[in-house]
Structure 1
C-alpha cells in the first residue's frame, strides 16, 4: 500500500452499487480511500451541478444527495480536501467514444477534479448484451468487475510516480467484463472513438425515440473503429486507457478574427 496516497472515490451509479464496492475494496489495498458518492443512481447526468446538497456519514466515507460532479466539489472543497487523486466508478456499463465524455456522470466527476488540478481516473466496465439476459441484469457479482478493478488499482498505484499526470489530467478507463478466472485483461493506451450513430425517429404522434446504434455494432462485432481506439480495444477484450485533458481547446481563427474586427463597422 502506498502510505502517502489518499483517494476520493465517487461514482454515478450510487453508493450502494456493486461496481462501487468492488472498486472500493480493490483501491483500499493500495491507498487510503474516502468514499464521497451519490445516494442514488445519477447515470448520464454529465456535469450537472447542484446549489446545495445534503451530506451524511457512511461506513465508507460520505453520501451526497447530489450528482457525481457535486461529489467531487464537495469532497475536494469540504470533506477531504487533501486527497491526492479522485477515482470515479466502477460504472456498470462502458463510457466509450468522444461523444460520451460530456454525458457520463462517471467521467464528469473526473473532469471536475481536473479543474482542481487533482489527477483523476474514471473507471467503467463494458457489459455485452445478448438475447437471453439484458445487460442491466448482469454484473451483479463483484468478481465480474475484476478486470476493471485490477487495472484501476494498478494505475492508481503506479501512474502518479510514473509521471502520467504530467501529461494527462485524467484517464478514462474501460474494461471488459470478467467471465471466469482468466488472467487480468491487458492494458492498451487508446484514443476515444469518433464514431457517432445517434438517431431520432418521430412516430407521428408526439413521441420521438432516440437510439444509439453503436451498441448493436458492439454486440455483433461489426465495428468500423480502427485499431488504437477505445471501443475497438474493449470489444476485443483489452482494457482501454485514454489519457485526456479537461479544458476545451482554444484556437485563433482568421475568419472569426475578421468578423470580430468588422463588427459594428
Structure 2
C-alpha cells in the first residue's frame, strides 16, 4: 500500500445512478483505483439486509448489483474486488446522524459489513436542510452541492490508511454540509444519543416521523457540542470514528439471573 494507489470499492444505498455516487466516484478516482459495486436501484434504509443470491451487471464504472448495500460489499470483497484496501459508501443524499440512525442506514451498514472482512471503511453522507414534510426523493441535488463531501472523502481516503486511524476504529461515519454553506472545517465527533422519533395516529393510519429534521432546519437542536448532529448544524464536517461489532458487558445482575434459572 505504501507509495501505491489504494484499491477502493465504492458502493452506496441510493443506487448506482445517483448524483452523490458519481460525485464520489469522480473525486476518489484522483486518489485511488475505484471500482463501483453498487445497487441498481434505491436501497435506502434497508440496514444490513442480505440476500441469498444476487444478479450482477457490468457497468461503465464497475458493477451494478440487484441487491442491497450489504450484498454489494460481500459480493465485491469476496468476488469482484478481492484486493480492496478500502470500502467507501456514499455519498448519501441526506445525513446519517445520531446513534439510532446507524443501524437503519444502508450507507452506514455497507461500511459496517466491510469491517467484518477486516477492510477499513468510510460511510459518507451529505446533510440536506429539509423539513419532515419534504421527501428526500423530491429533492434534486446539484452535483456541485457535494463539493465538501468530495473534498473530505478524498482527503480521508488518501491519508487515513497510512495514519493509523483504522488501528483505533473500524470505520468512519462522515457527514458533510452542502457546499453552498461555504468551506467546512472537520470535527471529530460521536453519534448523538438524542432520540426524536414520533408517531401520530389518525384513524387506521399511524404516521412515523423524525422530529429532528424540523429542528435542524431551524438550527434549534438539543444535541451538545462534540456530537455529529451539532457539528453539521454548525457548518462543520462531522467525522465519527466507530467500531462495528456489538459490545458485550459482563455484569453481576445477569449472572445472578442465569444462576437462578431453572430449566426443568
Q: Which residue of 2 aligns with 1:222?
A: 220
Q: Against the structure 1 CA distance between its residues 86 and 2, is the aligned structure 2 distance closer, same or farther, given a 3 Å change threshold?
A: farther
> Whole-Å Cα distance in 2 between the matches of residues 120 and 154 of structure 1?
14
Secondary structure, in 3 states, of the residue corresponding to 2:180? coil
Which residue does 2:247 correspond to in 1?
Answer: 249
Note the aligned Cα RMSD (angstroms).
1.9
Partner of 2:33: 32
**Secondary structure at 1:146 match in 2:** helix
Q: TM-score, normalised by structure 1?
A: 0.95
Any conservation in 1 of the 2:77–2:83 contact (CA below 8 Å)? yes
The counterpart of 1:236, out of the listed 230, 234, 254, is: 234
2:177 is the counterpart of 1:176 = yes
The alpha-carbon deviation at position 54 of structure 1 amounts to 0.3
Q: Residues 35-59 of structure 1, C-alpha deviation per residue, up to 9 Å, x if partnerless? A: 0000000000000011100001111
Structure-2 residue corresponding to 1:49: 50
What whole-Å deviation, never above 9, does each CA across 1:240-265 have from its counterpart, x for those lacking one? 00000000111101011111112117
2:185 aligns to what?
186
User: Is the CA contact 1:2–1:30 (under 8 Å) kept in the aligned structure 2?
Assistant: no
CA distance in 2, matches of 1:61, 1:174: 25
Residue 179 of structure 1 aligns to a residue whose secondary structure is: helix
1:49 aligned counterpart, secondary structure: coil
Q: 1:99 to 1:62 in 2, by over 3 A?
A: same
In structure 2, the partner of 1:76 is: 77
1:139 positional shift: 4.9
1:99, 1:16 → 2: CA distance? 28
Gaps of 5+ in 2: none
1:185 CA drift (Å): 1.2
Measured in 1, the distance between the counterparts of 2:121 and 2:176 equals: 17
Q: 1:188 to 1:2 in 2, by over 3 A?
A: farther
How has the CA–CA distance of structure 1 residues 79 and 245 changed in structure 2, closer, same or farther, with 3 Å as cutoff?
same
Give the Cα–Cα distance (whole angstroms) in 1 for the partners of residues 59 and 135 of structure 2. Answer: 31
Contact 2:5 2:31 in 1 (8 A): no
Contact persistence 2:131–2:213 (CA under 8 A): no
Distance 1:231 1:41 in 2: 24
Aligned to 1:93: 94
Equivalent pair of 1:89/1:123 in contact (CA under 8 Å): yes
1:137 is displaced (CA, Å) by: 4.2
Counterpart for residue 200 of structure 1: 199
Count of aligned residue pairs for this structure pair: 262
Aligned residue for 1:263? Answer: 261
Unaligned runs of 5+ in 1: none
Superposed displacement of residue 4, structure 1? 3.5
Distance across 2 between alignment mates of 1:141 and 1:128: 14
TM-score under structure 2 normalisation? 0.95
